[in-house]
Chain A
Amino acid sequence: MAVSAPQQNVVGDAVASLAYEALEISKSFGGAKALDGVSVDFRPGEIHTLVGENGAGKSTLLRVMSGIYERDGGELRLGGESLERLTPREAQHRGIYLVPQEPTLMPHLSALENLFVGIIPRGRLPFTVDWKRMRESAGDYFAQLGLAIDPRQRAETLSIAQQQQLECARALVHNCSVIFFDEPTSPLTAHEAEMLFALMRRLRERNFTLGFISHRLDEVLELSDRITVLRDARVVATMDAADASRELLVNEMVGHQVTIQRRHARAAQSDDVALSVQQLQREGEFHNISFEVHRGEVLGLAGLVGSGRTEIAETIFGLRHAEAGRITLEGHQLVRHSPRSCIDRGLIYLSEDRGRNGIFADVQLPENVSSAIVPRLPRLRGLLNRRVEQRLAGEAMERTQVRALRRDVPIRSLSGGNQQKALFARWLLAEPKVAIFDEPTRGVDVGAKADIYALIDGLARDGVAIIVISSELEELTWICDRVIAVYEGHVTGELSGEQITVAALGRLIVEEGGA
């Protein structure tokens, strides 16, 4: 394929960018609708932001528009021209670039080469590479974007923020003028995010067409020109940023269901401490973390992605080893504990990354559900009793209302919500005394969400101590009795009862509340 060598952009020149429209796009995964007739248009010289709860369809839309997912229906129009079947290559060829949530660079190659992969300029001799030209133009691009990256550095040694900047530079190198950013700020610190925004503003001035996804509403309001709100796979509103406000956006995002989930009123919790954590520390991840959870209490752990909240939970569960501090479970101090010993003592952890750390995609439902209690499964003459196993798993799945036509299907054929409920069934089978749920409703449809909230509430009523980690602040206000907030690895505050509001939490997780 004859891809032209990158043009020598004069620093700061405006580009001839095209408007890019999605019309009535629909897309389903295994029966679950991810996009249902979604229309959004992105215009040159404008930052258009998509907001919505997890699973509303934002990322799916950008992936469809950049050719990673094939759409089931609808039309994509670039500069008025309708695009037929769009592959990632075709998209890049036409100038559409998606900066993914997690940068996908070539770890062992230099930053320079990562920039030019696929369109390495030819040298004078046949087949050769024009390194000199690459170096020079890379310098240009870095200067244009104001980046301080050493082109010789290997990509694996760059920070996440630098990797993202490099992805932006790649978009320019590939002559792309439509650039999408899929939640780029979640792994970044506030300062790094600010640098990224400056970069995006520079691109806007030069007439690029920019799409953006973020969960942090403040930065959305600050950066965007227009905002589209998605909810449950549909567009519910598109507005100018000038007309938008935090409250308006939140209302549109959660719709009118806000009221359905006002905090479950539970009877006063017992004073029995189920889990206590004292001065837990891991260099570079978190320090001086102390808290307690009581039986029958739902404790929220609020924080941005990268704030250390998942690392804390994984340390408690024995997946990482603490450098200092003490974890006490039901009066018993955990020393050199492993996930296995935690599960056996009644401490469980539902991981936030369902695809990688949760499900066994090709394994059938019952075996997925029983996987955490394999050593405890009933035996018959030393062999696993499959009938009893199936029955136990079946009962657990009924308790969590997993909806599947048949039980003997691999879990991957289920929708996200049902997969998550199957994982809840897995952990219910383990009969937890303390349960840590990390992003329990990520990628789950609204109906399943309500079911999961009810499950968590039911567990708490049964006397289980529960820790819920979530990026959705509203969610925490609905289900938690108490919330502690973490920011960059330390606790910034604690709220309980009626104090728990989105506004108060929002301040704490970006540290305004102070420690």
Chain B
Amino acid sequence: MTTAPSPSPLLSARPAGVGQRSARRTLSRLLAMRELQLVLVTVVIFAITTAHASTFISAGNISFLLADAMAVAVIAVGQTIVVLTRGIDLSVAPILGTAALAVGFLAQNHNLTPLEGLPLALAIGAAMGLGNGFMVALAGIPPIIATLGSLAIYSGVQAIVAHSQEVVTLPPAYFNLGNGDAINGIPYLALIGAGVAIAFALILWRTRFGRSIYAVGNNAEAARRAGINVSRVTVSSYVLCGALAGLGGLIFLAHVGSADSTTGTDSNIQLTAIAATLIGGTTLTGGKGGVIGSFLAAIFLEVALAALVEFRLNPIWEPAGVGVMILLAVLADPTTGRPSLRSALRMLLQSQRART
């Protein structure tokens, strides 16, 4: 691969020069990449867990884990786009729920096929994302507050759509899509998820629009001066995030087979998606990171939590696992110039002394 300029650690690694020293540097650079770290850690977890319980590596289990991770993975891809512009979207859970409900009802009552449901889910998500984008870019409301408001609003919309009813019986096509394998061990959902992740990785790395997302996240004022329409880029990022949350709704519906007025919000799926984004190496201050990391982080979370269950750890510790992994992931980021544990402790002692 030629060396393309890009903030992606995958691509910004310099080509190996001559000599051992630069080869070692290239290696350490590669190891500093969050994407590679995630893959390695996931593989290690797989190896250890398989040694403990050999069924863990069975095609059935891999297939299940991949399919199970995809709703979060797809939402995390959308969340990443917004976080790259230095925003955040707390409202993806009800967007997912609303899309799942709308498609589910039509499928239950009118035999809507998944393929027909797709544009509907995307459109619902995009429309809700557009609302977020307007609040942030045009009304100037800080993203965390704007999407906190829309989280409440969209949850209400979801309740109205649900109308006190539930989606319980779906046409078999949904079950097939949500739990079937395209190839042995590779479920349809994983193909969809990987397709989405790769497509958006390409959009972010390779298109002018993608580059403006990074530019806005790096320095919105400078981007504006350079002639980038910052409002339009910001709104687009929320629309994309919403649309992907809608797609996540369809995936969730197909995989779980039911939906009701609290689907998505009851499991706080927006927080899990943000967790995956952070673990994937995207920073809250914007302009740094990428969607592949978030996608891999979602799979990593799924595998790690399943492994915990294999080790007879009570599943109630799953959320705690997510929390610990967020902290570990951020502390493991070497590029931020953050104080080490030792120097942090020294600072603590010093400031205590300075106060007395």
Direct contact, A vs B (beta carbon within 8 Å): yes
CB distance from B25 to the nearest CB of A (A): 14
The stretch that binds A, out of B192-200, B219-227, B248-256, is B219-227
A107 neighbours in B (Cβ, 8 Å): 218-219, 287
Interface SS of A by simple majority:
loop
The stretch that binds B, out of A109-117, A220-228, A472-480, is A109-117
Residue of B nearest to A340 (CB): B354
Q: A110 and B7: CB pair below 8 A? A: yes
CB distance from B233 to the nearest CB of A (A): 12
Q: A106 and B222: CB pair below 8 A? A: yes
A108 to B219, CA, bound (A): 10
Does A131 count as interface, using CB distance less than 8 angstroms?
A: yes
Q: A89 and B224: CB pair below 8 A? A: yes
Does B5 count as interface, using CB distance less than 8 angstroms?
A: yes
A359-401 near B? 1/0 per residue, CB < 8 Å: 0000000000000000000000000000000000000000000
Q: A108 and B287: CB pair below 8 A? A: yes
Q: A341 and B226: CB pair below 8 A? A: no
Q: A128 and B207: CB pair below 8 A? A: yes
A241-254 near B? 1/0 per residue, CB < 8 Å: 00000000000000
A123 to B4, CA, bound (A): 14
User: With A128-B207, A152-B14 given, is the CB distance from A109 to B3 under 8 Å?
Assistant: no
Kindly identify which residue among B6, B12, B208, B225 contacts A89, using a CB–CB cutoff of 8 Å.
Answer: B225
Does B56 count as interface, using CB distance less than 8 angstroms?
A: no
Q: B351 and A108: CB pair below 8 A? A: no
CB distance from A280 to the nearest CB of B (A): 18
CB distance from A355 to the nearest CB of B (A): 15
Does B214 count as interface, using CB distance less than 8 angstroms?
A: yes
Does B350 count as interface, using CB distance less than 8 angstroms?
A: yes
CB distance from A134 to the nearest CB of B (A): 8
Q: A88 and B224: CB pair below 8 A? A: yes
B162 neighbours in A (Cβ, 8 Å): none
A1 to B224, CA, bound (A): 13
Q: A3 and B287: CB pair below 8 A? A: no
Kindly identify which residue among B12, B207, B214 contacts A106, using a CB–CB cutoff of 8 Å.
Answer: B214
Q: B3 and A88: CB pair below 8 A? A: no
B227 neighbours in A (Cβ, 8 Å): 1, 3, 89, 92-93, 118-119
Taking CB atoms and an 8 Å cut-off, the chain B residues in 183-208 that contact chain A are: 206-208
B226 neighbours in A (Cβ, 8 Å): 89, 92, 117-119
Q: B215 and A117: CB pair below 8 A? A: yes
Q: How many residues of B contact A (CB 8 A)?
A: 32
CB distance from A481 to the nearest CB of B (A): 33
B215 neighbours in A (Cβ, 8 Å): 106, 109, 113, 117-118
Does A270 count as interface, using CB distance less than 8 angstroms?
A: no
Q: A118 and B287: CB pair below 8 A? A: no
Taking CB atoms and an 8 Å cut-off, the chain B residues in 1-60 that contact chain A are: 3-7, 12, 14
Q: B6 and A110: CB pair below 8 A? A: yes
Q: A110 and B287: CB pair below 8 A? A: no
A111 neighbours in B (Cβ, 8 Å): 5
Taking CB atoms and an 8 Å cut-off, the chain B residues in 70-109 that contact chain A are: none
Interface residues of A (CB under 8 A from B): 1, 3, 88-89, 92-93, 104-113, 117-120, 122-123, 127-129, 131, 134-135, 151-152, 154, 318, 336-338, 340-341
Interface residues of B (CB under 8 A from A): 3-7, 12, 14, 206-209, 211, 214-215, 218-219, 221-229, 287-288, 350-351, 353-355
Nearest 7 pairs between A and B by C-beta? Answer: A118-B226, A106-B218, A110-B5, A118-B227, A88-B225, A112-B5, A108-B288
**13 A-B pairs, CB-CB below 8 angstroms?**
A1-B229, A3-B227, A92-B225, A92-B227, A104-B222, A107-B219, A110-B12, A117-B223, A122-B208, A134-B5, A336-B350, A337-B354, A338-B351
A104-B219, A109-B218, A122-B208 given. 8 additional CB < 8 A pairs?
A88-B225, A92-B226, A108-B287, A110-B6, A117-B222, A117-B226, A120-B208, A152-B5
